[in-house]
Amino acid sequence: MSFVSEFNSLQLDALAKRSLNASGMDARTSLGRTTLSLADFAHLISPVAAELLEALGRRSQQLTRQRFGKVIRLFAPLYLSNECINNCKYCGFSRDNPILRVTLSVEEVLREARALMEQGFRNVLLVSGEHPKFVSTGYLAECVRALHEEVPSISLEVGPMETEDYRPIVEAGADGLVVYQETYDRAVYAEMHTAGPKRNFDWRMETAERGYAAGFRRLGIGALFGLGDWRLEALGVAAHADYLEHFGESDLPTDI
Ligand code: SF4
């Protein structure tokens, strides 16, 4: 069982409709609950909830303080490579675009990270296109190993990989993995991703679970808002986050 099975049984359209038709009372009742369901979340992003913006802000602030204290975590992206084997309609790195392709050497990565550290950044997000030849497990592990002594927190936003391929990168010192689903609408996803392995919606959706299995301590998910209906995307992200929050060793499928 992975989030894919749960996602397939989710009635996102019905939840989006519920959100659009929610009453002021629905929104207020949901806001008053200690534990919120996906239906409550739908009420809180309803048009009528606009009137509760101040109260929503206060609840959000209270939860944020409770979990993180008065801390703002800033990170800086460090682009490793614009090589990519996918075509995504919204991205200039798409494989069919005739642009100059560059992959930084490990020394160049270290130099860039030091420049970011000099500006005060302590969290670095290594970003790249998806290209197993140029951005391989070995290359990523080498970059992380080189940065690990100097950079306190290293995360990755690279093409989805197998659990076994993530392990050496975690062992080298990476602690976070970020993978946006881009859109939780299968039809929009198919329209936007026209070539390459990224066309596989389910494989991408299971990436956070493979990352967890490999030992990443922090997982980041999200949608590229603007591709599909924002309300549906928000519901998809909320459902995914809720699933991962309750995820544990016993949920790991044997083939992940
Ligand atoms: S996979 Fe990522 S880098 Fe490659 S084209 Fe798509 S969005 Fe751009």
Instruction: Render pLDDT for 23-52 as a digit per residue (tens, 0 to 9).
Output: 999 999 999 999 999 999 999 999 999 999
Alpha carbon nearest to ligand 1 atom 3, residue:
129
Is there an atom of ligand 1 within 6 Å of 88 CB? Answer: yes
Q: What is the pLDDT of residues 119-163, one digit of tens each?
A: 999 999 999 999 999 999 999 999 999 999 999 999 999 999 999
Reference 41, options 12, 4, 66, 64; nearest CA is: 12
Alpha carbon nearest to ligand 1 atom 5, residue:
94
Report the atom number in ligand 1 closest to the C-alpha of 85.
4
* pLDDT of 254 over the 70 cut: no
Report the atom number in ligand 1 closest to the C-alpha of 87.
5
Is there an atom of ligand 1 within 6 Å of 93 CB? Answer: yes
Which range (168-177, 191-200, 245-254) has the least confidence?
245-254
Query: What are the residues whose beta carbons fall under 8 Å from the beta carbon of 102, sequence distance 6 or more?
Result: 81, 82
The confidence score (pLDDT) of residue 256 equals 44
